[in-house]
Amino acid sequence: MAGTVPSEIAAMAEHKDKLRICLAASAGGHLSQLLKLDESWESHHTFVVTTNALMRQKLRKHGTVYVVEECNRQHPIRVAKVLKQCIGIMFRERPDAVISTGAAAGCILCLVSKIFGAKIIWIDSIANVEHYL
């Protein structure tokens, strides 16, 4: 699957030279999983949203890097803060598509992006396969 772009995104690319793609993932395992697919977007304009400023240097090759706070449902004030940050990023960037492996900040970004008209690709961890069965 690495190196292939989902058909809906590929169809969008036919109408544009390059898509503007947001790569969204919390630092750690979520981000590692997302970066394993980097061949999929190498011919497009990308930017990254993550939760750890220490990752900024490593991610610069993928475009502008935005850092939002880590959050979860147990911290609603942080969730509200991340929501505000994500709205600001979407006003600036206006991506055609968002590819995310989560966690909470990635989910919030996907919801905001959908309102802005972006296509969403959510990649869940294979580690959750037994959880969903």
Q: What is the CATH number of the domain that holds 60?
A: 3.40.50.2000
Query: 78 pLDDT exceeds 90?
Result: yes
Number of domains the chain is built from: 1
pLDDT of residue 17: 79
Q: Residue 7: inside a domain, yes or no?
A: no
pLDDT digits (tens, 9 = 90+) for 8-25: 666 665 666 789 999 999
Q: Residue 76: inside a domain, yes or no?
A: yes
pLDDT of residue 10: 63
Q: What share of the chain is helix, strand, coil (3-state, %, to 5)?
A: 50, 20, 30
User: What percent of the chain has pLDDT above 70?
Assistant: 81
**Domain containing residue 93:** 17-132
